Amino acid sequence: MTRHYQALIDHLSQISNLSRTNSLLGWDMQVNMPPKGAAARGAQIETISRIHHELLVSDRTPQLIEAATAELGTLAYDSVEAGVLRVAQREYELATKFPVEFVTKWAAIEAMAHDVWAKARANNDFKSYQATLEQIMDLARQRAAYLGYQTHPYDALLDEYEQGITSAHVGEIFSGHKDQLVELIAAISQHADRVDDRVLHQAYPIDRQREFGLAVTRALGYDYDRGRQDTSVHPFAISFSRDDVRITTRFNETWLNPALFGMLHEAGHAMYEQGSSAEFDHTPLAGGTSLGVHESQSRLWENIVGRSRGFWSWALPKLQALFPSQVGGVDLDTFYKAINKVQPSFIRVEADEATYNLHIMLRFELEMGLLDGSIRVADLPQEWNARFESYLGIVPPTDTVGVLQDVHWSAGLIGYFPTYALGNLLAVQYYNQAITAHPSIPEEITHGKFDTLLTWLNREIHQHGRKYTSEELTHRITGQGMDSAPYIRYLQHKYSEIYGL
Q: Which is nearer to a second copy, 57 or 156 (CB)?
A: 57
Residue 241 touches a second copy, criterion: CB under 8 A: yes
Give residues 49-88 in contact with a second copy (rule: CB under 8 A): 51
Containing 177, the helix (H) or strand (E) segment is helix 167-189
Q: Which is nearer to a second copy, 48 or 316 (CB)?
A: 48
Given 8, 18, 56, 300, the residue binding a second copy (CB under 8 A) = 18
CA distance 385 to 379: 10
Number of residues located near a second copy, criterion CB under 8 A:
38
Given 7, 28, 257, 444, the residue binding a second copy (CB under 8 A) = 28
Q: Is 370 exposed, middle or buried (0-12, 13-18, 19+ CB in 10 A)?
A: buried
SS3 at position 76: coil
Residue 34 touches a second copy, criterion: CB under 8 A: yes
List of residues 6+ apart from 123 with CB closer than 8 A? none
The stretch near a second copy (CB under 8 A) out of 33-41, 112-120, 323-331, 386-394 is 33-41
* CA–CA–CA angle 263, 268, 273 (5° rounding): 120
According to the 3-state scheme, what is the secondary structure of 270-310?
A: HHHHHCCCHHHCCCCCCCCCCHHHHHHHHHHHHHHHCCCHH
Residue 190 touches a second copy, criterion: CB under 8 A: no
Given 4, 7, 24, 330, the residue binding a second copy (CB under 8 A) = 24
CA distance 239 to 12: 17
Given 4, 7, 30, 44, the residue binding a second copy (CB under 8 A) = 44
Q: Are strands 237-241 and 227-231 parallel, antiparallel or unpaired?
A: unpaired
CA distance 264 to 303: 9
Q: Shortest Cβ distance from residue 278 to a second copy (Å)?
A: 10
Of the candidates 424, 433, 434, the residue with the CA atom closest to the CA atom of residue 484: 424
Given 7, 21, 106, 171, the residue binding a second copy (CB under 8 A) = 21
Residue 33 touches a second copy, criterion: CB under 8 A: yes
Given 2, 3, 6, 46, the residue binding a second copy (CB under 8 A) = 46
CB atoms within 10 A of CB 47: 12
Q: Check if the beta carbon of residue 253 is closer than 8 Å to that of residue 204.
A: yes
According to the 3-state scheme, what is the secondary structure of 223-278?
A: CHHHEEEEECCCCCEEEEECCEEEEEECCCCCCCHHHHHHHHHHHHHHHHHHCCCH
Q: Shortest Cβ distance from residue 45 to a second copy (Å)?
A: 9
- What is the per-residue binding string for a second copy in 257-286, x denoting contact by CB under 8 A? ------------------------xx----
Given 41, 105, 250, 438, the residue binding a second copy (CB under 8 A) = 41
Phi/psi of residue 290, each to 5°?
A: -155, 165
Q: Using alpha carbons, list the distances in angstroms from residue 25 to 54, 238, 244.
A: 19, 11, 14
Given 4, 14, 62, 149, the residue binding a second copy (CB under 8 A) = 14
Given 32, 104, 151, 436, the residue binding a second copy (CB under 8 A) = 32
Given 47, 79, 382, 436, the residue binding a second copy (CB under 8 A) = 47
The stretch near a second copy (CB under 8 A) out of 60-68, 238-246, 402-410, 460-468 is 238-246
DSSP string, 83-124: HHHHHHHHHHHHHTSS-HHHHHHHHHHHHHHHHHHHHHHHHT
Q: Shortest Cβ distance from residue 10 to a second copy (Å)?
A: 10
Residue 250 touches a second copy, criterion: CB under 8 A: no
Q: Which residues are catalytic?
A: 266
DSSP 221: T
Give residues 372-411 in contact with a second copy (rule: CB under 8 A): none
Question: Cα torsion at 457, 461, 462, 467 (round to 10°)?
Answer: 170
Q: Shortest Cβ distance from residue 473 to a second copy (Å)?
A: 25
The stretch near a second copy (CB under 8 A) out of 25-33, 71-79, 152-160, 466-474 is 25-33
Q: Shortest Cβ distance from residue 13 to a second copy (Å)?
A: 7
Residues forming the site for a second copy (CB under 8 A): 13-14, 17-18, 20-21, 24-25, 28, 32-37, 39-41, 43-44, 46-48, 51, 224-228, 230, 240-244, 246, 281-282
